[in-house]
Chain A
Amino acid sequence: MERAPGKLLRATLAVAIVLCPLLVLGQSGFEALPPLATRNPKNEFEWARLVYAENPDFSRGFGFGGYRWLTDAPEAETHLLQGIRRLTRIDTGSQGTAVRLSDEALFDHPFLYAVEVGGWDLSEADAARLREYLDRGGFLVVDDFHGTLEWEGFMQSLRRVYPDRPVVEIPDADEVFHVLYDLVDRPQIPGIYGVMRGVTYERDGYTPHWRGVYDETGRLTVVINFNMDLGDAWEHADNPIYPQPLTGLAYRFAINYLLYSMTH
């Protein structure tokens, strides 16, 4: 049975009406992609955001699931890097970059930032590569994942990286909380939607945890910001509704992490 041309046209138009905004949004998202990191960066420090594959079991659903690694970019790093340039003597550029675990440039960037890692999915090869990176002296900061389910999502991949090392709460006395700023009081740093809702948590992540993995010499190799969203605090530093003290604190955490990674 032949379809009527009018019906086909109407169906095509309907699909186009639905997809066009998504394509536009998608294109704007691509425009905002940080450039892929190159070897031999032009500044001593280059903010490198980890590009990872997403775990479908922990997907956030329709829409942006494939770009969780891109959350808060590029405003988070462009804001934060200005602060780093202003407050420290670290030689850094003003834009961040992105790096895949398979890139050779990975090893020219000893500091990595990964966001929304509750949904990351590291293959065995990825995990081995990340472990090698950390064993050579690399440093990983993860952020913006909340609640029991996302913790499990995060740990599924981290166990592949570190089957032999535990994740522990970072003690208050650890140098990472004192390298520049003494970060003894550590309130929960919320995402922008929590702020808009008047709460600081997401899902069942009521209590913030600063956790980490230590190497055999007692140095932190991974800092885990669980049940908090530093990325939003940096991203919304110019947003009047985001509490300024929490933005300031998020900057301080970032600077301490960075200084720790550049001195330990």
Chain B
Amino acid sequence: MFEFLFKYSPWAYRAGELSFASSWPLWVLIALVFAGAVLISVSLVRQGHLGIGRRVAIGVLQAAMLAVILVMLWRPVLLVERVKDRENVVAVVMDASASMAHGEGQQSRLQQAVAALEGGPLDAFRKSFGVRLFSFSGAAQSLKQLTDVPPPGTQTHIGDALYSVMQTGATTPLSGVVIVTDGDENGGSLSEQRLAELASFGVPVHTVGVGPEKNTNDLELEAVSVARRAAPGEVLNAEVSIRHDAKGKTRLRVYDGDTLLASNEVQLSADAGVTTHTISIPAGDPGVRDLRFTLDPLPNERNVINNTRMQVIDVEPRKRNILYIEGEPRWEYKFIRRAAETDPSLRLASLVRATPNRYYRQGIENAAELEKGFPQTAEELFAFDAVVIGSFEASALSSEQHQILKDFVDRRGGGLLMLAGRDGLADGGWQRVPVAQTFPARLPDGNAKTFALTPGKARLTIYGAESPITRLDDDAAKNAKAWNELPPFADMQALGTLKPGAVVLLESVNEQSHATQPLLVWQHYGRGTTYLLGTASTWRWKMRLPHEDQRHYMFWRQLLHAVAADAPPRMSLTTVRKVYEDERRVMVTAELRNERFEPVNDAAVQLTLTSDEGATSTVPMVASGQGDGRYTATVQADAPGLYRLSMNAKSCAGCKNGEKDLGTLQTHFRRADGVVEHFGTQQNRPLLQRIADSTGGRYWRLDQLDQIPDAMRYSKAGIVERQTLDLWNLPALFLLLLALKGGDWLLRLKWKTL
């Protein structure tokens, strides 16, 4: 109908530019329309026997008719760029990844797409274009006909597929690309850079979305976030994201091989979307934990593959190594030690200045350790992952010790926890030493004492509510209640002004004035982190609660782990991910440092890959050349399974004095096939929209496929010709004239003024 009335396709009007072909200027047209309107008005004024309303109605009809005639005389035209028929090519790209094998109803998404194309759009393309067919999961493959689509692929690389199709345009006049897909990109091939590269070809990509935009009756374990390494006996918190479409509940189970490690019931929130849940997992003995997180399926759930995710954790045969120095015997020290001693993954080596001249040592590994008090060399201090400083005045350390303490945080990447006390924080003069730069707050610098015996209560902040440090219960509401019900502590110390990067996990509420101040604050500094705790009487949480209550011990174990956990080991071996789903190339990085944590750049590093069937291969790791102690290698893991990577490093390769064995490290990763395509199976319309917008194309639903050939004719890519389409003879204009004149005549007849 549109083309009957307006002669041309609506896409011509969208793409074209309206103009007038007459050589007469446009202002003459406007002037004539105006003059005609005036003349009509004057003639109607003389017909005084008609009422004003009737004269206006007739005047409008006559003036409109005059205007339409004049416009037609000025010869309106549409200037369009239109691809030349039969001289251009359109690429039709079909997603053949495994996610297209999912279906709603009787047909798979792929079958729906093929049926929609063969139902007419493909023939329509062929009338004006040469058509090239492609399919893709990884790279794009050329097809002779749609029925040649290969078996489902294990990944979706939309970016790579489009890029390879675009490259064919270098030798072919490509007017556009039509990609039919569910948008389940999982190959990491659609970065912003790749989108910009696609746009630079100047070829519009029309994306056709297949599949529902929201899955129904489906749970998906969207992501699992958990530490890559752990200490023996440590309890790890894993955060899982569950995508769901309705309120309900499910059960999350975590297995190591066939052994059940943890199980929680998860309430799925009322609003459809994503629910996050935290589950605690015991790390167990040294070795590898090959974890499987799985959700109980919903009744009649069809896709259950996406209810399971794998993760791998290396439990290293070393404890978190923490140094605690205390300037005076005090109860806080005793109860911190007791908390740490309940956790076999923590080693708390401590020094208490029992008398003015003597330190009492606990948790030491040999008689010589800490014999001279606080470490005096970087080698000695950097052997620890974290340092806790209690009521200990800064002046008790030398300037060299202060410098290595600052380097401990900044350069070594260690954790530092400063505790309140008579000689702690500002009252111990810690605001005036180099390590103060690493603090998350500027400590008060006046003469007034900042440590006061003022009772207060701890209160979670919004950050504290989400932090694993202050998680006393996995359930957020129960966690807040657990904190609210803790007994008050007996003292507080002002922490000063927070710095911009500070994160406050706990506030203290003064029992008398109800004023609040930061209680537990942390920030990153350099490679490390620093924490401040503004009370020295958390031990009241242990002594004022029944002995079965573990909240004090939990808090301290979690805090000590957090302070120490981010400290990088002297040597590390890491893979980009711990689980490679449908991806075979694994990039491995080793980082080597000496006892002073200075990069080792002259090492000979060998990497051995061992599959779970025992096959091994060895490759050298190559130094980055940046002087940062980094070495990299890429290994190929073809078969699914659990792999072990072993690195052996020898320093001073080729030195006359001989090589020195730096040590051996191990890490593990898992390879899995046929998994990734079962996640994120709902149509990713935002992604498809973004591709179309970036390239000048358009997003279409599958039922709009038949409109694309017409739109494509007005593409600006390929071989195009400029056309001037006359509009003066549009049937719609003649019908309009007829309607206007007919209306005028009928009204006059009715009012008897003919």
Closest A-chain residue to B422, C-beta based? A91
Q: A87–B455 contact, CB under 8 A? A: no
Size of interface on A: residues with Cβ below 8 Å to B: 26
Q: A137–B543 contact, CB under 8 A? A: yes
Q: B328–A110 contact, CB under 8 A? A: no
With the chains together, A192 CA to B453 CA distance in Å?
Answer: 40
The size bracket of the interface on B is 20 to 34
Q: B334–A137 contact, CB under 8 A? A: yes
A89 within 8 A of B: yes
| Cβ contacts A118-146/B at 8 Å (1 or 0 each) | 00000000000000100111100000000
Known contacts A107-B544, A110-B543, A132-B547; A179/B360 CB under 8 A = yes
Known contacts A44-B330, A88-B354, A110-B334; A259/B341 CB under 8 A = no
Known contacts A88-B354, A89-B354, A180-B354; A136/B334 CB under 8 A = no
Known contacts A110-B334, A137-B334; A90/B329 CB under 8 A = yes
Known contacts A40-B490, A136-B542, A137-B543; A110/B329 CB under 8 A = no
Q: A91–B330 contact, CB under 8 A? A: yes
Q: A259–B338 contact, CB under 8 A? A: no
Q: B543–A89 contact, CB under 8 A? A: no
Q: B455–A40 contact, CB under 8 A? A: yes
| Cβ contacts A57-93/B at 8 Å (1 or 0 each) | 0000000000000000000000000000001111100
Cβ of B547: which chain A residues have Cβ within 8 Å of it? 132, 135-136
Cβ of B490: which chain A residues have Cβ within 8 Å of it? 40, 108
- For window 293-328 of chain B, which residues contact chain A by CB distance below 8 Å? 327-328
Which residue from B328, B330, B334, B540 sits with its C-beta under 8 Å from A264?
B334
With the chains together, A58 CA to B546 CA distance in Å?
Answer: 33
With the chains together, A262 CA to B337 CA distance in Å?
Answer: 10
A12 within 8 A of B: no
- For window 330-385 of chain B, which residues contact chain A by CB distance below 8 Å? 330-331, 333-335, 337-338, 341, 352-356, 358, 360, 362
Cβ of B338: which chain A residues have Cβ within 8 Å of it? 137, 264
A42 within 8 A of B: yes
Q: A91–B542 contact, CB under 8 A? A: no
Known contacts A40-B455, A91-B422; A262/B334 CB under 8 A = yes
Interface core residue of A90, A138, A258 (most chain B CB under 10 Å): A90
Minimum Cβ distance to chain B for residue A90 (Å): 5
Cβ of A179: which chain B residues have Cβ within 8 Å of it? 354, 360
Minimum Cβ distance to chain B for residue A110 (Å): 6
Cβ of A259: which chain B residues have Cβ within 8 Å of it? 329, 354, 360
With the chains together, A117 CA to B351 CA distance in Å?
Answer: 35
Q: B355–A180 contact, CB under 8 A? A: yes
With the chains together, A90 CA to B547 CA distance in Å?
Answer: 26
With the chains together, A258 CA to B333 CA distance in Å?
Answer: 13
With the chains together, A135 CA to B542 CA distance in Å?
Answer: 10
Q: B330–A262 contact, CB under 8 A? A: yes
With the chains together, A108 CA to B422 CA distance in Å?
Answer: 18
Cβ of B455: which chain A residues have Cβ within 8 Å of it? 40
With the chains together, A217 CA to B340 CA distance in Å?
Answer: 13
Q: B334–A263 contact, CB under 8 A? A: yes
Minimum Cβ distance to chain A for residue B367 (Å): 13
| Cβ contacts A167-180/B at 8 Å (1 or 0 each) | 00000000000011
A261 within 8 A of B: yes
Q: B422–A263 contact, CB under 8 A? A: no
| Cβ contacts A144-164/B at 8 Å (1 or 0 each) | 000000000000000000000
With the chains together, A110 CA to B356 CA distance in Å?
Answer: 23
Closest A-chain residue to B549, C-beta based? A136
Q: A261–B328 contact, CB under 8 A? A: no
Q: B328–A44 contact, CB under 8 A? A: yes
Q: B328–A91 contact, CB under 8 A? A: yes
With the chains together, A90 CA to B328 CA distance in Å?
Answer: 6
Excluding A40-B490, A89-B353, A137-B338, 8 further A-B contacts by CB distance (< 8 Å) are A40-B455, A45-B330, A108-B544, A137-B335, A179-B360, A259-B329, A259-B360, A263-B334
Report 15 cross-chain contacts, Cβ distance below 8 Å, ordered by A residue: A42-B453, A44-B328, A89-B328, A108-B490, A110-B539, A132-B547, A137-B539, A138-B543, A179-B354, A180-B358, A258-B329, A259-B329, A259-B354, A263-B334, A263-B362
Q: Which residues of chain B have a CB within 8 Å of any CB of chain A?
A: 327-331, 333-335, 337-338, 341, 352-356, 358, 360, 362, 422, 453, 455, 490, 539-540, 542-547
